[in-house]
Amino acid sequence: MTTSKGKKKTGSQSPASPLSPVASAENAPDAALPIVGIGASAGGLEAFEQFFRACPADSGMAFVLVPHLDPGHESLLTEILQRATAMPVVEALDQVAVAANHVYIIPPNREMAILNGVLQLSLPEQARGLRKPINAFLRSLAEDQAEDAIGVILSGTATDGTLGLRAILGAGGVCMVQEPSTAKYDGMPQSAIAAGYRIPLRCLERFLFPVP
């Protein structure tokens, strides 16, 4: 199986921005830390559990999860996924720098972005049916991390995440899509595959759409 990456930007690419004031030396993100943004919707719980049972706890990557959550209910996803991995699993907090071998989950009724490796939470501006939280976070991740960004789309309906993968690929990062036949709902994986964003990541070969 071969792997592919997006083309790295050359020429006029500007140097990395300094850390924002909120990311103090004590709370600064790791240098050159690969950050994995993972989106899922319907059927996502099972897919997340399978994902983290298959991934090593010492990969050196940070994982940021963006599931479609009910905005009116407290999420139990952190507790459930903690049983599937030895990595710490926490609900994301505003102005927290991500760290290697940690899992962060977006809270209910929040939008999330990342700037200089630091999570940025805000209240949604759009009505629930119009939001595309996975696209929004993956685009932010692409802008912030460039070739160190990794985008993953798991089980879910509709198309959220497809445009986010395009941004990551364009920034030189890596994209991964769950093999549709293993997804409880294959809408989101199929959308990404139809758009051509099906680049595999070795640690989860059995979930990936095969690439010749």
39-54 pLDDT, tens per residue? 999 999 999 999 999 8
CATH of the domain at 193: 3.40.50.180
Catalytic residue status for 41: yes
Q: For residue 111, how many C-alpha atoms fall within 13 Å in the half-sphere facing its CB?
A: 16
Is 114 within 8 Å of 120 (Cβ atoms)? Answer: yes
Q: Choose among 153, 169, 149: nearest CA to 161.
A: 153
SS3 of residue 144 by DSSP: helix
Query: Which parts of the chain sit beneath pLDDT 70?
Result: 1-31, 128-129, 197-212
Residue 8: inside a domain, yes or no? no
Catalytic residue status for 160: yes
Amino acid at 120: Q
In angstroms, rounded to a whole number, what is the distance separating the alpha carbons of residues 195 and 68? 21
**Cα distances (Å, whole numbers) of residue 78 to 11, 107, 115, 204:** 42, 10, 23, 21
Model confidence, pTM: 0.81
Catalytic residue among 68, 144, 148, 155, which?
A: 68
Catalytic residue among 41, 140, 155, 191, which?
A: 41
Place of tokens 């994301």: 92
Total structural domains within the chain: 1
φ, ψ (nearest 5 deg) of residue 147 = -70, -10
Catalytic residue among 144, 148, 160, 186, which?
A: 160
Q: What is the pLDDT of residue 85?
A: 97
Residue 17: inside a domain, yes or no? no
Residue 202: inside a domain, yes or no? yes
Q: What is the pLDDT of residue 193?
A: 87
Q: Which stretches within 130-182 are classed as H helix?
A: 133-145, 162-170
Question: Dihedral of the CA atoms 124, 193, 190, 39 (nearest 10)?
Answer: -30
Q: What is the pLDDT of residue 31?
A: 62
Residue 51: inside a domain, yes or no? yes
Q: What is the pLDDT of residue 114?
A: 98
Catalytic residue status for 68: yes
In angstroms, rounded to a whole number, what is the distance separating the alpha carbons of residues 20 and 76? 31
Q: How many CB atoms lie within 10 A of CB 48?
A: 25
Q: What is the pLDDT of residue 125?
A: 85
**Cα distances (Å, whole numbers) of residue 29 to 24, 113, 133, 206:** 9, 15, 23, 31
Q: What is the pLDDT of residue 196?
A: 78
**Cα distances (Å, whole numbers) of residue 119 to 91, 94, 106, 181, 187:** 11, 6, 10, 33, 28
pLDDT digits (tens, 9 = 90+) for 138-166: 999 999 999 999 999 999 999 999 999 99
- Angle between helical axes of 133-145 and 162-170 (0-180°, round to 10): 10
Indicate the DSSP class of residue 178.
B
Domain of 132 in residue numbering reads as 31-207
